[in-house]
């Protein structure tokens, strides 16, 4: 096949990318949800506010594929279609340079993931400079998505779905079904964020490093099929996890750390702005739960100041996964109180989030056992 694929093949490619997402919803939410825990002290005012926003919008970039024809190319890089990469293990970091060498059609067809990641970083930085923490959080969610895709090996290869090795469907089997089945086994600590001196170099470096796992995923798939005799059974997925779980967890950990460090870098380069936590709504208020820390039961008070408004009060763990829904419905003006029963939750740090329309207020709660 030549450098420019046929229209028919390109259409198939677009349809494929409309139906897959790096790590699926579960994985992207985990990666994004871990990042705020790594923010340094100067950014602590964003930790509780940003966690649910990064999680809730972790797949927004995938959702845009259905309406934005340019979005799909931002989620992958078929890097082994580049002759320069095959020869030297690298490609130019400058978009203009690679476009001049290979032509814009070739570049777009083979994905623009690294440059989409850089653009998202620049958008976060620009929002920080304006002290627009609302939009910064939304762009950071996109940044996390692209970073997550860059840590999914099958998003960095022409053989993204095993189509060249008679392993069709491995993309979805690995990134979605396996992750959904074994997400409880993806456990990792949060490393402190640090300043990145060369953002472009950092992004390309992790892409090169993560590409090396492509063969590991494909070999694990073949092994799991050889044991199970199929690629659909529980035994198949158990063997696939047994062979990939260790490095998959490492990829998740590095993706979360990369997101935290790139957000921190954008904040530093924007002048380290401080401000009131984002999305506070003067029409509602949310108090700190009492007691806090607590073991089983705690009281949460909130107020609706004007008008009958729809209110949602949800609880998230540190991975950004919702673990409880406490309020969902119209509430009259005045003070309200609810008891949160957390007997069935493990010890740890949680965030409870009050949402009314487009506004959110978040508070941190600690459970001890």
**What CATH architecture applies to the domain 7-269?**
Orthogonal Bundle (1.10)
In 175-296 the beta strands, taken as DSSP E runs, fall at 284-286
List phi, psi (to 5°) of 301. -110, 140
Task: Please tell me the predicted confidence (pLDDT) of residue 288.
Answer: 86
Task: Decide yes or no: CATH 2.60.40.1930 for domain 284-367.
Answer: yes
Tell me if the bond preceding 27 is cis, omega within 30° of 0.
Answer: no
Q: 192-241: per-residue pLDDT in tens?
A: 999 999 999 999 999 999 999 999 999 999 999 999 999 999 999 999 99
The Cβ of residue 349 has, within 10 Å, a number of other Cβ atoms equal to: 15
In the chain, ranges of CATH 2.60.40.1930 domains: 284-367
In the chain the beta strands, taken as DSSP E runs, fall at 284-286, 297-304, 309-317, 322-331, 334-341, 348-356, 359-367
pLDDT at 67 over 90: no
Residue carrying structure tokens 């047994």: 242
pTM of the full predicted structure? 0.75
Q: 290-338: per-residue pLDDT in tens?
A: 998 899 999 999 888 766 678 889 988 766 678 999 999 888 888 899 9
Task: Please tell me the predicted confidence (pLDDT) of residue 366.
Answer: 85
Contact present, 21 and 28 (Cβ < 8 Å): yes
What is the spatial distance between Cα 210 and Cα 319, in angstroms, rounded to a whole number? Answer: 22
What is the spatial distance between Cα 366 and Cα 318, in angstroms, rounded to a whole number? Answer: 11
| 24, containing H or E segment | helix 24-34
């Amino acid at each position: 096949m030549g450098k420019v694929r046929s229209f028919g093949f390109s259409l198939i490619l677009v349809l494929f990318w409309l139906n897959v997402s790096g790590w699926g919803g579960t994985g992207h939410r985990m990666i994004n949800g871990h990042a705020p825990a790594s923010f340094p002290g100067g950014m602590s005012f964003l930790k509780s506010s940003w966690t649910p926003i990064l999680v809730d919008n972790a797949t927004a970039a995938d959702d845009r594929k259905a309406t934005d024809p340019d979005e799909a190319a931002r989620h992958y890089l078929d890097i082994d279609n580049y002759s320069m990469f095959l020869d030297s293990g690298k490609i130019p970091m400058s978009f203009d340079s690679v476009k001049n060498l290979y032509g814009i059609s070739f570049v777009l067809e083979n994905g623009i993931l690294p440059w989409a990641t850089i653009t998202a970083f620049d958008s976060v930085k620009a929002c920080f400079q304006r002290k627009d923490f609302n939009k910064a959080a939304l762009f950071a969610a996109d940044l996390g998505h692209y970073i997550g895709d860059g840590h999914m090996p099958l998003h960095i290869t022409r053989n993204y779905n095993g189509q060249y090795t008679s392993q069709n469907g491995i993309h979805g089997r690995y990134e979605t079904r396996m992750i959904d089945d074994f997400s409880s086994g993806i456990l990792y600590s949060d490393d402190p964020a640090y300043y990145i001196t060369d953002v472009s170099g950092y992004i390309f470096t992790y892409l090169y490093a993560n590409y090396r796992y492509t063969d590991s995923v494909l070999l694990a798939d073949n092994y799991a099929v050889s044991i199970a005799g199929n690629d659909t059974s529980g035994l198949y997925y158990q063997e696939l996890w047994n062979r990939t779980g260790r490095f998959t967890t490492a990829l998740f950990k590095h993706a979360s750390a990369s997101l935290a460090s790139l957000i921190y870098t954008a904040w530093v380069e924007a002048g380290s702005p401080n401000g009131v936590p984002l999305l506070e709504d003067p029409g509602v208020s949310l108090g700190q739960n009492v007691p806090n820390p607590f073991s089983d039961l705690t009281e949460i008070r909130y107020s609706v100041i004007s008008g009958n408004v729809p209110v949602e009060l949800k609880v998230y763990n540190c991975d950004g996964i919702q673990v409880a829904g406490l309020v969902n419905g119209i509430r009259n003006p005045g003070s309200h109180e609810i008891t949160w029963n957390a007997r069935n939750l493990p010890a740890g740090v949680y965030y409870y989030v009050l949402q009314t329309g487009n506004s959110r207020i978040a508070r941190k709660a600690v459970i001890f056992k």
